[in-house]
Amino acid sequence: MAIVWKWGSGKSTISSLIISYMNHHNKNFWAIDADTNMHLWLNFDIDYDNDKALSDWHNEFRIREYLMWNNIHIISPSHMIKTTPPGPWSVIIKSTDDWLLKKYSIWQIWSWELFFVWWYTGDWAWTSCYHTNLAILENLLAHTNFEDEYLIVDMVASTDTFAGPMYTQFDKIILIVEPTKESVDLAKKYMNLAKSVNTNHIIQYFWNKIVDEEDIEFIKKKLLIDQIPYLKIDNDLKKHLRNWMSMLTYFEAKKSYLSDVFSFLNNIQKIPFKTKTQLLAELHRKVSQLDYIKMPLWDLTHQIDEDFINSL
């Protein structure tokens, strides 16, 4: 699942609470911080190790080398672009207990692990676009097929989800909506964009920063939807965020209320891996024809193996 919306809407906070909910209910999962402003590690009072960034050049190369394994359609890790689908002899990660990915986890506790994509340092400031770093996450999503486990991604903001193939690889996208005109207007535009690529059925609205019934009625009227999960503004939460106290502690103190708020997570319907891979292959055909891909790497449509996809 992914948690998306604009800067300041509460993506990292909601992500942290979902992580805490999953932890409380003993779920096995990966949590990946893919936001440009990385906060998950702070919300759990831990340190990050920049050498473990998934998009670090050495890590990215090793992960792609691992995922492609002996896939006969990929010449080298450098030919594995953001839309490259899995094929014969690719590695399909089926469990959170993966020997290679454990090397890049910045925190392992009980049944879950935390990863992050990238954190700008002085050496890299002004030299690259953050979104190019998301390609390795897109490769991981395309090669991951958990059965009874979860992958939670704190995403980049809003419609950036559609800048690559990630929107094809989630079972659920949680769209955070605030009780403001700007937020509900953006929510409408996001949903229309999702409809245009046939992924609107995986969108789950989540209302945040609710103060009173007036806020609820405002969003319901503007979006023409019934009441859905929402989170009230809480001074105790504000104190936790100010002091960088672990969100696990906050959740335990509020577990009765928060377990009810996030109970919808128990009903997420898994989209077949075959369906996701077919969507990815369709997008890969388009991306492979773009000049910035085709000029240096030639035509990569041969990376699509229809027989393999049909056999999934």
Say which CATH number the domain at 23 has: 3.40.50.300
Give the residue among 86, 94, 91, 88 at the shortest CA–CA distance from 142.
Answer: 86
Look-up of token digits 């989630």: 170
* CB neighbour class for 169 (10 Å; exposed up to 12, middle 13-18, buried from 19): buried
Total structural domains within the chain:
1
Whether the predicted pLDDT of 109 surpasses 80: no
Longest dimension (CA), the chain: 59
Residue 124: pLDDT band with limits 50, 70, 90:
low
Strand partners, 116: 33
DSSP secondary structure letters along 283-303: HHHHHTTSHHHHHHH---GGG
Percent of the chain with pLDDT over 90: 59
pLDDT at 217: 93
Average pLDDT, the chain: 88
Percent of the chain with pLDDT over 70: 91
Whether the predicted pLDDT of 7 surpasses 70: no
Cα separation, 187 vs 208, whole angstroms: 13
pLDDT at 128: 62
Domain of 87, in residue numbers: 2-311
More confident residue, 48 or 102: 102
DSSP secondary structure letters along 209-248: EE-SHHHHHHHHHHHT-----EEE--HHHHHHHHHT--HH
pLDDT at 8: 56
Whether the predicted pLDDT of 5 surpasses 60: no
Whether the predicted pLDDT of 226 surpasses 60: yes
Average pLDDT in the 154-167 region?
74
pLDDT at 289: 93
